[in-house]
Structures are given as structure tokens and as C-alpha cells.
């Protein structure tokens, strides 16, 4: 079952290089240079396969011989002690079809491209009001607290039917859930508190429905309150932390490349620029876990049934052959005019991010509006190291002081 590594295997999740939130941890880049599939260690003492190549990552995530079901005993767990917690209350992210498809299809209607397109004026208004509030409070400001976090939080609250006044509660609990250092008991309490909160909200909506996802879910007879709470938790956590971190990191990167930030003034260049930022930043930096259900040959390596695999999106997204145009910038540099559409920042396969049309709309509007409305935007402390959250499953910044 397990093979002895011949070279020092990286331990997952590996830390970022100090102060560099833009690049994958060096351990992954080195592993990718050695082979597209290598052995790696996990913190609980077990070992797994680290998959770093673009075609191999796509295969792991789309081939049904790899399972996303976290209840399987061999499923690789990145943080020791989380196995029972994930398995006890799996959202559809951690289930296989047909269970996954049944639950996912309950909410796909809310994230259709045309639904999200219809939400754009509402998102623009939320974004404009956030800029107004930040501008009124005056320069300098912390972009994370004033802009990057409020915008997606407000959007997902509206969509899900969660009162924005409760943001402190769900933002704090979400942080615990994606923390790599919180202990099992803390994470268990945070998960239960958030499930109880969302279950309570859903129960209220049974009597007083609104035009929101929780109300639509609770009106169905084929879903338990527990399934609704798990789905709500997934959408709430995935819906604000990821986009918030993308807004903050993208702003930092664009402020370091002002000539590329200027391209956002052209509306036709904005969607492509956002794809490039998604590709280069790949904030789900710890990779996606799967377990092989059968023996599978992958990149010339035999993965045995029952072995764990971590698909590393960040290294796949830096495939030189795929992303570097002839004469163009290397794949590990920002080029907002690059064709980055083949990136796997949203994952791949049936679990690919459900909210990607919404994430794209929010990022396009938030970034274009910020640079248009505050043309003098700059880093308040240009020489300071970025305040990267060291203990998060999603790359992000604690704060980003800006001036204008």
C-alpha cells in the first residue's frame, strides 16, 4: 500500500515562503519540478500522493475512480483530527454522486450564469456603497476590513438570506473552520455553532420565507434541516472567505504592477484580467484531497486503490506549456492580457466551484470599481511585507493598509 519515498517527501500542507503570498509554497514547486506525481507526507503521519501536473490534476478531479467522499477511512485529511468532523457532517463538497448531485442540484439554480448576470446591478451598488463608506472614513484604510471582506459578505448574505448584522458571528466562525491551527474541539464547536445558527434561520424561514436560498431549501420536502444547514454552511464559508481573499490579494498584486492595473480601465480587459488573477493566485493553496477507488496509472505512476491523493491546483496553474504564450511572460508572473481561461483555480470535475459565475462577477466589479473610483490608490506601507494569514487553508491577508 505505501511505498518508501526515495527523496525527502514534502509534508502537506507546506508553508508559504515568508512574505510571498503569490507563489505556491516552495515545497510544491520543487515537487512539481521533480515529477507530476510524487510521494508526500501528511501531518497525521500517513503518506499520500502529491499531484502537481496540469493534466494529472484534471484527471484526479474528473475521473470517477477518485473519490471525494471524506467518510472513507483512507481519505487523506490535511489537518489531523478533522476526519471525524468532516465525516460527521459532510457537505456535498465531500460526497460522491449520486448523493453529491442530489444536494448540489438543489442550489445550482441560484448560481446560473443568467441569474448572476441579473445580480450585477445589485453587486455594483454594494460595491459602490463600500467605496463610498471607505472614502468617507478617509485615507489610509485597511482594504480587507473596509472593502474586501464586506463586499462578498453582503452579497452572500443577500443571496442566502443571512442577516448581515450577524457578520461578526459567521466571519469569526468561518475563520476557525478554515484555520490550520485551531484544535479539534474548537473546530467542532465552531462547526456546530454555525450549523445551529443556519438551521435556526432556516426553521424561521419556514414560517416567514424570503426571496433567498435558505427559504427555497426549507420549502422543499426532500431535504432535512441538517442537510440544509450543511449546504448553507458550505455556501456561506465558500462564498465570502474565498472572494474576500481574492479581492485583497489581487489589489496588492495590481498595486505592485500599476501598468497592468491600468488595463482595468478597459471594460473589455476586465474578465480576462480576473481569470489571470484567479490562475496566478490560486488561493486554495493546500490542494484538493481525493482517494483512489481502483488502481489508476497517473503520469507514469501507479496509484493503488485506497491511496490518498492531493491535487495541487497552484502548480497546475503554472504550467508553462499551457499558459506561456510564445514570447510572453512566464507562467509565474502576472500578465492580465494572457489567455488564462484553462486555469483550475475553481477545481475541475463535478465538484468544480458552483459559485464561480458569482465569484467572477464580484471580482470583476469590485476590482474595476476600486481602481476607477480611487485612481490614486497605493500601498500605505509599500515596503512592508504582506500580512499573510499563516494558518489558513485559503491564502489570504490579515490586513492591507492602502492610501489614496
Partner 1 sequence: MQVSIDQDRCCSSGQCVTTVPEVFEQDDHDGLVRLRLTVLAPAQYADVRLASELCPGGAITVTEDGTGA
Per-residue binding letters, 360-399, with partner 1 (x by CB under 8 A): x---------------------------------------
Whole-angstrom distance, CA of residue 320 vs CA of residue 339: 13
- Cβ-contact 368, 217 below 8 angstroms: no
**For partner 1, the closer CB: 167 or 342:** 342
Q: Binding to partner 1 (CB under 8 A): which residues in 339-358?
A: 341-342, 346-354, 356-357
Q: What is the DSSP letter of 148?
A: I
- Cβ-contact 344, 58 below 8 angstroms: yes
- Candidate ranges 111-119, 134-142, 177-185, 253-261; the one touching partner 1 (CB under 8 A): 111-119
What is the torsional sign of CA 333, 316, 354, 147?
negative
Q: Binding to partner 1 (CB under 8 A): which residues in 58-87?
A: 61-62
- Candidate ranges 27-35, 253-261, 308-316, 338-346; the one touching partner 1 (CB under 8 A): 338-346
Q: Determine, following the binding rule CB under 8 A, whether residue 219 of this chain makes contact with partner 1.
A: no
Least Å distance, CB 160 to partner 1, is 17
**For partner 1, the closer CB: 205 or 360:** 360
Least Å distance, CB 113 to partner 1, is 4
Least Å distance, CB 358 to partner 1, is 10
**For partner 1, the closer CB: 219 or 302:** 219
**For partner 1, the closer CB: 350 or 403:** 350
C-alpha cell at 214: 435558505
SS3 at position 180: coil
Q: Determine, following the binding rule CB under 8 A, whether residue 114 of this chain makes contact with partner 1.
A: yes
Q: Determine, following the binding rule CB under 8 A, whether residue 108 of this chain makes contact with partner 1.
A: yes
- Cβ-contact 186, 82 below 8 angstroms: no
Q: How far apart are the first and last CA of the chain?
A: 58
Least Å distance, CB 114 to partner 1, is 7
**For partner 1, the closer CB: 83 or 342:** 342
CB within 8 A of 259, min separation 6: which ones?
A: none
Q: What is the DSSP letter of 69?
A: -
Half-sphere exposure of 63 (CA within 13 A, CB side): 19
DSSP-derived pairing of the beta strands 47-51 and 308-311: parallel
Whole-angstrom distance, CA of residue 154 vs CA of residue 318: 32
Least Å distance, CB 146 to partner 1, is 30
C-alpha cell at 360: 467572477
* Closest alpha carbon to 287 in 1, 46, 53: 53
Half-sphere exposure of 356 (CA within 13 A, CB side): 15
Q: Cis check for the bond before 216: say yes or no (omega within 30 of 0).
A: no
- Candidate ranges 100-108, 141-149, 256-264, 281-289; the one touching partner 1 (CB under 8 A): 100-108
Q: Cis check for the bond before 331: say yes or no (omega within 30 of 0).
A: no
Least Å distance, CB 199 to partner 1, is 25
**For partner 1, the closer CB: 144 or 238:** 238
**For partner 1, the closer CB: 103 or 149:** 103
Least Å distance, CB 323 to partner 1, is 14
**For partner 1, the closer CB: 108 or 125:** 108
SS3 at position 64: coil
**For partner 1, the closer CB: 16 or 290:** 290
CB within 8 A of 203, min separation 6: which ones?
A: 218, 225
**Per-residue CA distances from 149 to 6, 85, 145, 287, 375 (Å):** 44, 26, 6, 23, 21
Q: Determine, following the binding rule CB under 8 A, whether residue 236 of this chain makes contact with partner 1.
A: no
Least Å distance, CB 368 to partner 1, is 17
Least Å distance, CB 391 to partner 1, is 30
Least Å distance, CB 362 to partner 1, is 14
- Cβ-contact 348, 53 below 8 angstroms: no
**For partner 1, the closer CB: 82 or 94:** 94
Residue count, binding to partner 1 (CB under 8 A): 26
Which residues form the interface with partner 1 (CB under 8 A)?
A: 61-62, 101, 104-105, 108-109, 111-114, 116, 341-342, 346-354, 356-357, 360
Amino acid at each position: 500500500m505505501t511505498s518508501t519515498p526515495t527523496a525527502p517527501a514534502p509534508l502537506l500542507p507546506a508553508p508559504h515562503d515568508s512574505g510571498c503570498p503569490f507563489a505556491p509554497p516552495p515545497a510544491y514547486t520543487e515537487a512539481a519540478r521533480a515529477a507530476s506525481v510524487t510521494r508526500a507526507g501528511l501531518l497525521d503521519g500517513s503518506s499520500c500522493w502529491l499531484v502537481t501536473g496540469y493534466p494529472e490534476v484534471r484527471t484526479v478531479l474528473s475521473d470517477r475512480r477518485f473519490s471525494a467522499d471524506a467518510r472513507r477511512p483512507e481519505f487523506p485529511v490535511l489537518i489531523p483530527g478533522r476526519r471525524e468532523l468532516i465525516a460527521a457532517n459532510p457537505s456535498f463538497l465531500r460526497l460522491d454522486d449520486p448523493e453529491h448531485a442530489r444536494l448540489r442540484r438543489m442550489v445550482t439554480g441560484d448560481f446560473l450564469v443568467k441569474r448572476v448576470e441579473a445580480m450585477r446591478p445589485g453587486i455594483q451598488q454594494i460595491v459602490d456603497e463600500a467605496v463610498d463608506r471607505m472614502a468617507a472614513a478617509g485615507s489610509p484604510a485597511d482594504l480587507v476590513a473596509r472593502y474586501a471582506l464586506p463586499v462578498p459578505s453582503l452579497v452572500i448574505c443577500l443571496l442566502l438570506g443571512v442577516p448581515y448584522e450577524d457578520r461578526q458571528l459567521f466571519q469569526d466562525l468561518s475563520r476557525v473552520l478554515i484555520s490550520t491551527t485551531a484544535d479539534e474541539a474548537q473546530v467542532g464547536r465552531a462547526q456546530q455553532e454555525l450549523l445551529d445558527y443556519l438551521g435556526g434561520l432556516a426553521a424561521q424561514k419556514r414560517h416567514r420565507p424570503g426571496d433567498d436560498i435558505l427559504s427555497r431549501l426549507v420549502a422543499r420536502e426532500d431535504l432535512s434541516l441538517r442537510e440544509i444547514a450543511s449546504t448553507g454552511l458550505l455556501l456561506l464559508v465558500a462564498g465570502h472567505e474565498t472572494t474576500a481573499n481574492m479581492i485583497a490579494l489581487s489589489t496588492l498584486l495590481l498595486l505592485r504592477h500599476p501598468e497592468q492595473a491600468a488595463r482595468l480601465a478597459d471594460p473589455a480587459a476586465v474578465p480576462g484580467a480576473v481569470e489571470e488573477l484567479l490562475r496566478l493566485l490560486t488561493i486554495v493553496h493546500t490542494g484538493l484531497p481525493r482517494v483512489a477507488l481502483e488502481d489508476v496509472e497517473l503520469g507514469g505512476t501507479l496509484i493503488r486503490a485506497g491511496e490518498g491523493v492531493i491535487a495541487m491546483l497552484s502548480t497546475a496553474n503554472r504550467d508553462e506549456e499551457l499558459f506561456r504564450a510564445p514570447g510572453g511572460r512566464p507562467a509565474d508572473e502576472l500578465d492580465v492580457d494572457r489567455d488564462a481561461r484553462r486555469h483550475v483555480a475553481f477545481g475541475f470535475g463535478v465538484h468544480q466551484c458552483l459559485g464561480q459565475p458569482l465569484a467572477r462577477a464580484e471580482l470583476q466589479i469590485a476590482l474595476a470599481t476600486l481602481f476607477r473610483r480611487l485612481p490614486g490608490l497605493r500601498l500605505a506601507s509599500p515596503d512592508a511585507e504582506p500580512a499573510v494569514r499563516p494558518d489558513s487553508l485559503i491564502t489570504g491577508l490579515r490586513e492591507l493598509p492602502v492610501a489614496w
